Structure 1
Amino acid sequence: MNHFSNKNTTNILPCVMGGVVVGAVTAIGLAHVWSPSACKKKKPPVGPCDSSGLWDDSQGFSHPPDTPLGFTMRDKGFNTFLEKWLPGDYEPPHSHPGDDATIMIEGEMEIQFYTKLADGKLMKDGPLVTLVAGQTGFIKGGCIHDAKYKTKCKLVYVHNKTFDFKDER
C-alpha cells in the first residue's frame, strides 16, 4: 500500500503516530535498562554498618607511625579470615559471640536468620537474604543464622571478638 498517493492521505497520520509510539516506547525501555539506578541493583547490607561493633572506636583503632592521617587500623581484639567455599557448601544454624562482616568478593550466598523458641526449636526469622559479589553483610553478635553457598564464593570475614562458632541446632 502506498501511503503517499494522492488518493489516500488519511493513512499517513496513523503510520506517523505508530512510528512515534514505537520510538517512544523503545526510548523509555532503553532509558530504564541503562539508567544509573538500573546499574545499582545492589541490595542494602544485612544490618546497619554504623551499629556494628566492628567500627566501635573504643575497641582500639590506631594510627601507624609514618602513614597518611586517614590510615587507621585495628590490630587487636578481632579476627579476619579469607574464606573460599564451593557450590552447595552449607553452614548449619549457628551464632558467634561478636559482630561480624562478610564482604563478598566473588559468588552468591544465602543467609537465613532464626529465633530459638522456648522448647529449643528454631523458627525462621525474616526473609532469606542473598549476598552477591560487591555486597557486605553485617550480623550482630549472638544472632542465629545459617549460610548456604550457591556458587563458588570468595569472601573476607571480619569478627570483632575472638572467633567462635556455636552450633545452634
Structure 2
Amino acid sequence: SFVIVDVATSLIVSVFWIMARKDLAPLFTLKGIRISIALLTMAGAIVSCLVVSVVADFINVSLYESTFSETWLFEETSSPLLYAVIFTCVQPAIFEEVAFRGFLFNNIQQISTAASTVYITAFVFGIIHLTIISMLWLVPLGLVFGLLRAKYNTLWYGIIGHFTYNLGVVLLEYVQTIG
C-alpha cells in the first residue's frame, strides 16, 4: 500500500508538473549551481539526519516503547535497501520538492511575500507527512529547503538535501536492522 500511495502521489505531482512545466523548467537549470552550496546542503542534511535519528528514537521509545523504521516496509522484498532508497529517498526528493518548493511555492509567491511563502510551504510540507511529532524536524527542514529555493531560484539544492537526509535515515535504519 505504501508503494501505491507513492505511485499515486507521483502521478498527481506529474500532472501538475506537466501543467506548470514552463514555470517549473527554470528551477531545473544547472546554470549557476554552486558545488560549495550543494556540499554544504549535503553536510547539513547528514548532521540533521543524525540529530533527528537520535531525537526520533528517543521520542518513539518514550511514547510507544519501540522505534519506527522506513526500511521494514520493504523487508519482504528481494532487495529491501534498493526499494527503500527508491521509494524513501529518490521519489520523495524529486516529487515532494517539485510539489512544495516548485508548484506550491510558485503559486503562493504570486499572492504573498517571499518570507510567508517559505513559511507556508514548510508548514504544509510538515503537515502532509501526517505525523504531528515529525513536524518538529520536518518544518525546519522545509524551511531550509524553502530558503534555498528562495535565495537561489532552483530546486536542485532542495532535491540534493532531501535525498541526502532521507538516504541517511534509510542507511542508519538499515544498519540498525542488520546489526
**Larger Rg belongs to:** 1
Higher strand proportion: 1
Q: TM-score, normalized by length of structure 1? A: 0.24
Compare the two structures and name the one with the higher helix fraction. Answer: 2
Greater relative CO, 1 or 2 (CA 8 Å, sep 6+): 2
Superposition TM-score, scaled by structure 2 size:
0.23
